Amino acid sequence: MSSNFYERDVQPFADLPCGVFANNVENYFIVKAIRLQYLAMDAIDLFRNYEGRYASSNIEHLYAFHYVRLARVTLRTQGKSAQCAGHSGHSLNIVFIPLNISRTPKENRQKKNSLKHPPSPPIISGYMEGQIIPAGSVQKLLCVSSGGNPLATLTWYKNDKRINSVIRTADKSVSAEITILANVTDNQAQYRCEAANSATEIPLFESTTLSVHFAPETVKIRIEPEELKPGIEATIICDSSSSNPPAKLSWWKDGIPIQGINNTSKPGLWGGTVSTLEFKVNITQEMNGIVYTCQSANEALQRNRPKFVPPPSSTAVGVENESLMVALQANANPISIIYTWSKDGQSIADGNNELEHRIFSDGPKLNFTKLHRNDAGVYVCEARNSQGSASINVTVVVEYGTNIKSVSENVIVNPGEDAMLSCTVEGKPLNEEHVKWERLGYDMTIKTSSTFANGTSYLHIKDSQREDVGNFRCIADNRVANPTIAPEIDKSPTLLRAASGTGERGRLPCRAQASPRPKFVWRQEGKDLPVNRTYKYEVEEKKVDSLTYESILIIEKVAPADYGAYECLAKNELGHAVETVRLDITSQPDSPLSLNILNVTHDSVTVAWTPGFDGGLKASYRVRYREANREQYKYIDSLPNSHKLTITGLKMNTLYLFSVMAYNDLGESKYLPDLQKAHTKDF
């Protein structure tokens, strides 16, 4: 079958080119609708009016952006020439764009994919406005733009002056990174990243303004009047050059501080502040040769050796065969700090070593990829800069499951004598409550007692008799060595939904029980998400308890395309589990899942409820109640962050009905049915 292609301006649509269609020929057009409220859908309806004349019509949306929508229209004629009827619908600006050569379906798809559209606005990471950068330190800024056809060209500017950057291109995004050696000119300097392609008329951009601390370069002293004579009053003025933060000036006489006056400041160069301090003195002959000194103090000038931020605990606890990271932090000026780790005087290699180490350091962090019980001990971290060093000790405790090393066998005593059985156990932690004795069908509370010392539990049996003869079993469990469990994901409604406003940060939870620890994978539409590899997706993981782990998918600057279903996969060597977690736009909350009566007195009832999905916003709760034989409700709000409420002032010996609802800033849920009843007691 052959094809014809046409170019014709048609306005209104009633001017459809009549008589131009050949028999049994496909005629291709592209329809462009300019008015947003009609778009190509009206063009579709218009073409359908001709289905009486043409055997078939096929309309495919090609592209939609802002106020323009395109659709490709295929009309196939049948029979002789057609007569075009007018159309009484909307008047549209429709342009028939020629396709001058015949295309295969594959070529048409390529034409569809070649349509140009702008990229997403760029996003700058690596610096948070207001964060202080000391002069002389290195600061990196990363600009990322995704989407667009073609991909964006990224350009960095410092105060409108173009600067070079390192460009990296991925499948659907492009990034540009700059490295800044901070100096005085960077204080209050605006760094701007622009993204543009052939579909953008004006570049898209994002900017950030740096805050740099720098010291004053000079301190100068002025004297008024310039010529000093006995009997006059002189003003001695100290001026400090621009600095950020402002310099603190002080006057000294022969090493002794003296009081200054008129401490003033004014804006200086590079967004800094010029400080001034003066004092007045009556000149005498005896003052000849006296030395007055002006001193300028500034945080950026104060050099100091490292000082560790006190950690939450001096002990780090891990579990055998699992990973552990010990993270410390030290502050200093200059901020360039070299960290070294050691144990028992032996240095621990850093992560840049070519050899693979199970224990390695990464600056102020010490990593154990797989703990052994002999890793326990005291580790020393030393932090050093040009001003000196500091060190701190961290004790690593490795917990491991219990193991029975030996038990007493064939203990023989005479009737009436006391018997003692022993059970020696190893494990960490290990104390008396981790070891117990049992015997089926035997009452252990009558004649037996136990003691514990040095890893051994002793069972004492008083006044042994024939009926005491038998096997006693020693059981050791410190709840560290967990049973092996294939992953099972928590299907609680509040854990399978999340909500976020457009432009905000989305957080999707996924909680699973497993042993060994599961690995989490997040997917969308069957494809693994590039978590922790781009600015868009990050994952936070934590251990909730000995068997429960949680992975939280973080989506930065949520866009409309980000809403929908995501898959959470939890897997270990025993199996895997998959659940769908939805991200929706913020909304009013769902009703609580259930309501229960906890306690009843003569004049009060305590109720508790299980929250439903909060709609992505902080939810509050309201309880309503009434007497069973009355229709009038009373209402009471719960305390913030509480899922329990005690209603007081009730009548004695009266039946009440209770219900609860949730509300947030966007609305409220329905009340649960009045199914929960409580009958107050007699006094």
**Stretch 553-580: mean pLDDT:** 93
Q: What separation in angstroms does the CA of 645 have from each of 414, 610, 620?
A: 62, 12, 12
Is 52 part of a structural domain of the chain? no
DSSP secondary structure of 638-673: PPTT--EEEE-SPPTT-EEEEEEEEEETTEE-PPPP
pLDDT of residue 151: 93
pLDDT digits over 601-619, tens only?
Answer: 999 999 999 899 999 999 9
Quick check: 342 and 379 in contact, CB under 8 A? yes
Per-residue pLDDT at 79 exceeds 60: no
Is 32 part of a structural domain of the chain? no
Please say which residue of 181, 213, 245 terminates a domain. 213
Please say which residue of 262, 297, 332 terminates a domain. 297
Output the pTM of the full model: 0.37
pLDDT of residue 75: 42
Whole domain around residue 562: which residue ranges? 488-585
pLDDT of residue 507: 94
- pLDDT tier at 169, thresholds 50, 70, 90: very high
Indicate if 204 and 183 belong to the same structural domain. Answer: yes
Overall number of domains in the chain:
6
The Cα 674–Cα 445 span in angstroms is: 48
| Number of Cβ atoms within 10 Å of the Cβ of 396 | 20
Calculate what percentage of the chain has a pLDDT beyond 90.
53
Both tokens assigned to 175: 């990034």
pLDDT of residue 424: 93
Lowest mean pLDDT among 175-179, 235-239, 258-262, 470-474: 470-474
The Cα 423–Cα 406 span in angstroms is: 6
The Cα 450–Cα 8 span in angstroms is: 100
Is 627 part of a structural domain of the chain? yes
pLDDT digits over 93-135, tens only?
Answer: 333 333 333 344 444 444 445 688 899 999 999 998 888 888 8
**Stretch 251-257: mean pLDDT:** 88
Quick check: 217 and 170 in contact, CB under 8 A? no
Indicate if 505 and 550 belong to the same structural domain. Answer: yes
pLDDT digits over 415-442, tens only?
Answer: 889 999 999 999 999 999 989 898 866 7
Indicate if 580 and 652 belong to the same structural domain. Answer: no
Residue 569 bridge partners (DSSP): 521, 578
The Cα 86–Cα 49 span in angstroms is: 10
Indicate if 136 and 197 belong to the same structural domain. Answer: yes
Is 50 part of a structural domain of the chain? no
Is 104 part of a structural domain of the chain? no
CA angle 333, 336, 338 (to 5 degrees): 120
Q: How many residues does the chain have?
A: 683
The backbone region for 653, taken as left when phi is positive above 0, alpha when psi lies in -120 to 50, beta otherwise, is: left
pLDDT of residue 515: 77
CA torsion, ordered 23, 29, 35, 41, to nearest 10 deg: 60
Per-residue pLDDT at 214 exceeds 70: yes
Nearest-Å Rg of the Cα atoms of the chain is 39
pLDDT of residue 350: 75
Quick check: 588 and 667 in contact, CB under 8 A? yes
Indicate if 494 and 538 belong to the same structural domain. Answer: yes
Indicate if 149 and 188 belong to the same structural domain. Answer: yes
Per-residue pLDDT at 40 exceeds 80: no
Closest by alpha carbon to 60, among 28, 20, 82? 28
CA torsion, ordered 108, 110, 111, 113, to nearest 10 deg: 130
What's 393's domain CATH number? 2.60.40.10
**Stretch 173-196: mean pLDDT:** 94
Indicate if 322 and 379 belong to the same structural domain. Answer: yes
Q: What separation in angstroms does the CA of 502 have from each of 229, 562, 615?
A: 74, 9, 14
pLDDT digits over 359-382, tens only?
Answer: 999 899 999 999 999 999 999 999
More confident residue, 231 or 12: 231
pLDDT of residue 483: 54
Indicate if 466 and 501 belong to the same structural domain. Answer: no
Per-residue pLDDT at 668 exceeds 80: yes
More confident residue, 200 or 54: 200
Is 636 part of a structural domain of the chain? yes
Indicate if 369 and 444 belong to the same structural domain. Answer: no
**Stretch 273-299: mean pLDDT:** 88
pLDDT of residue 300: 64
Indicate if 337 and 368 belong to the same structural domain. Answer: yes
Indicate if 621 and 564 belong to the same structural domain. Answer: no
pLDDT of residue 301: 63
Closest by alpha carbon to 153, among 211, 82, 203? 203
Both tokens assigned to 324: 């552990």
37-41, 177-181, 331-335 — which one is most confidently predicted on average?
Answer: 177-181
Please say which residue of 344, 367, 400 terminates a domain. 400
Tokens 């024939």 sit at which residue? 466
Is 90 part of a structural domain of the chain? no
Per-residue pLDDT at 28 exceeds 50: no
Indicate if 479 and 519 belong to the same structural domain. Answer: no
Per-residue pLDDT at 554 exceeds 90: yes
Per-residue pLDDT at 39 exceeds 50: no
Is 466 part of a structural domain of the chain? yes
- For the chain, how are helix, strand and coil distributed in percent, rounded to 5? 5, 50, 40
Calculate what percentage of the chain has a pLDDT beyond 70.
81
The Cα 77–Cα 359 span in angstroms is: 76
pLDDT digits over 633-643, tens only?
Answer: 999 999 888 89
